Chain A
Amino acid sequence: MTTALTTSPDAPGAGRPDGDTAVRISHVHKTFGRPGTAAPVLEDINLTVAPGEFVTLLGASGCGKSTLLNLVAGLDKPTSGTIEVPGGRPALMFQDHALFPWLTAGRNIELALRLAGVPKEERRPEAERLLELVRLQGSYKKRVHELSGGMRQRVALARSLAQGSQVLLMDEPFAALDAITRDVLHDEITRIWAEKQLAVLFVTHNVREAVRLAQRVVLLSSRPGRVAKEWRIDLPQPRRIESAGVADLSIEITEELRGEIRRHVQH
């Protein structure tokens, strides 16, 4: 079932034949404000994601997991250390769907294709294909406010895929959804991840979600954010969030997480 707990930050990835890395984070520190005055948000983060690997970043509030994702996305720069994304600008999905309300669902995707340099005549069919991939065929002309929360996140996923990046960053994308919708979207993202062979770096504070989705769970400590522990998960996909295997590992990880949070009582 689950294999050894490794604290080694440079745990090898899925060991793909090409041996490439999708994301390499080396000795990253991040401090907001002037150095020396403010406490660091991230401290010496080392993490490698292999192509096609699904990694969840887990942590309590204040662990800097969203900050780390922004750094990988290139929206912000690390104070020191390096981040390499050999495949170019990664796609990023937010907790808020961030779809543009002045465009239809299909046009949102086409804008992403356009900005990615896809020629005009290929955009419409490609947008239709992506909508079909997230099972929203026939929603091309729908306005954002006409879609439910789950449908919006699926359009947002399709728009992220339209960038054509092999690296998908997800910042608590299902946190605002109800349990049933979230469950269905877990199946969706698992299916699409396998189909497209994406490298996914998925941030969440929900332990079960992390275990349900990932091949590898990375636990971050809080203030400063540091890689505390990693778990490899070999349960077969698609998993069910209520299955015994997911539950057992979730209990173990939750205990670690609680321990990390408790450390802050003394300070």
Chain B
Amino acid sequence: MSSTDTAAPLAKDGPSDSASVEAGLDALETVQAQRTPVSVVLRQKVLPPVLGVVLVLAVWQIAYSLELTTPDKLPSPADVWDSFTELWYAGTLLSIIWTSVWRGLSGFALSVAIGTPIGLVVSRIKPVRAALGPVLSGLQSLPSVAWVPAAIIWLGITNSAMYAVILLGAVPSIANGLISGIDQVPPIYLRAGQTLGATGLRGARHILLPAALPGYLSGLKQGWAFSWRSLMAAELIASSPDLGLGLGRYLENQREFTNMPGVFLGILLILFVGVAIDLLFFSPLERRVLRSRGLLVNSR
């Protein structure tokens, strides 16, 4: 049966014509969710940033060609590309990246495991919030590189020191994200949950946490950015053969060799990894959650 036929039998069976009026209203007022075609996404979302990168490369090349400064201070894009292929053929590129990414992601996962319960406790228990709330927001504005000297004295130049710096950077921002996510939950959801019988732990599980998810996700996103930054700072400062060669260490080594193309490559790789994890993982997750709740309107 086609959809146009379904209203007719209802009208005959119903006590009044209200059923068919209702079916008509439903048909008129239902919003058709539309997905943007791929070609439009490519033109509006992908093309502009690609053009932006091309522009930066062009300006860089022009600055190099005009010899604004000496090549040992500003290498050409081609020089940097050469160090990239060199590293690739030496077979060390992926292991350098992996050393840092593994540290970053596992540190981040640990931060989520610690930051989430802290955020929950601080947001739900008033005296704890009064005491720790300002401390958490304060910690968020402290650059985590400031923790590196302390972490090295406490833990030595070890992996543990690296993780400590990541945690000190990421845990406050993840906890704060959850706290603000919970604060922004519309009270009507909590009241509705209460009338349905969702109180206490059941309320937290079925109402509070899902309702706070968008704020929590943006906290996670920021937490990742903090993890990555803290880790790079720690790797740059702490030097030990036991630590393995990560991106920060690679960058510092190139500086010691005054190898400017290598320094540029190091900076670009750190930037690239940070952005790639955000684009591949956090942004799609956030968009999916917002879209499913109707919070992401297609700008057409």
Contacts and interface: CB of A to CB of B under 8 A. Distances in A.
Is chain B a partner of chain A in the same complex? yes
Interface of A: 73-75, 89, 91-92, 94, 96, 98, 100-103, 111-112, 115-116, 135-136, 143-151, 159, 163, 180-181, 183-184, 187-188, 191, 238
A73 B195 CA distance: 7
B80 interface: no
B298 interface: no
Majority secondary structure, B binding face:
helix
Given A92-B195, A143-B292, A238-B15, A148 B30 contact: yes
B207 A238 contact: no
Given A100-B207, A100-B211, A184-B18, A146 B30 contact: yes
Contacts of B191: 75, 94, 98
A111 B294 CA distance: 20
A148 B189 contact: no
A149 B198 CA distance: 25
Contacts of A187: 16, 18, 22
B196 interface: yes
Contacts of A74: 195
13 contacts: A74-B195, A89-B197, A94-B188, A100-B192, A115-B198, A146-B30, A151-B30, A180-B25, A183-B18, A184-B18, A184-B22, A187-B22, A238-B16
B14 to A, nearest CB: 9
B31 interface: yes
Contact of B22 (A102, A112, A159, A188): A188
Interface in B256-300: 289, 292-295
Interface in B3-62: 10, 15-16, 18-19, 21-23, 25-26, 29-31, 33
Given A102-B293, A184-B18, A187-B18, A150 B196 contact: no
A157 to B, nearest CB: 13
